[in-house]
A and B are shown apart, each in its own frame.
Chain A
Amino acid sequence: MKILVPVKRVVDYNIKPRVKADGSGVETAGVKMSMNPFDEIAVEEAVRLREKGAASEVVVVSIGVQQAQDTLRTAMAMGADRAILVLSDESPEPLAVAKVLKTLVEKEGPSLVVLGKQAIDDDMNATGQMLAGLLGWGQGTFASKVDVADGRVVVSREIDGGTEQVSLALPAIVTADLRLNEPRYASLPNIMKAKKKPLETIAAADLGVDMAPRLSIVSVAEPAERKAGIKLGSATELVEKLRNEAKVI
Chain B
Amino acid sequence: MAVRSASPEDIYATHPEKKVSLYFMVLGFIALTIGVIFGPFQIFNYADIDLYPALQPLFKSYYQGLTLHGVLNAIVFTQFFIQGSLLYLQARDSNVRPLMPVAWAAWWIALIGLALAAWPLLLNNATVLYTFYPPLQGHWAFYVGAALIIVSSLVSVFLSVEMWVRWKKQNPGKPTPLVTFMTTATWMMWGLAAIGLVVEAVFFLIPWSLGWIKGVDPLLARSLFWWSGHPIVYFWLLPAYVSWYGLLPRQAGGKLISDPLARMAFLGFLVFSTPVGFHHQFADPGISAFWKGVHTVLTMMVAVPSLMTAFTIAASLELAGRANGGKGMLGWIKALPWNNPSVVAQLLGAIAFIFGGAGGIVNASFTLDYVVHNTTWIPGHFHLPVATASTLTFFGIAFWLIPHITHKPLAAPRTALAGVWLWFVGMMFMAFGMHMMGLQGVPRRAHISAMSAVNDGIYASSAFYMVFNAIAGVLLTIAAVQLFYVLYATLFSRRRLPADQVPEIPFAEAISGPEGKNGVKVMDRLFFWWGAAVVLVLIVYMPTLVQLFIHMVPAPGMRLW
Asked if chains A and B come from one complex, the reply is: no
Which residues of B does A touch, CB under 8 Å? none
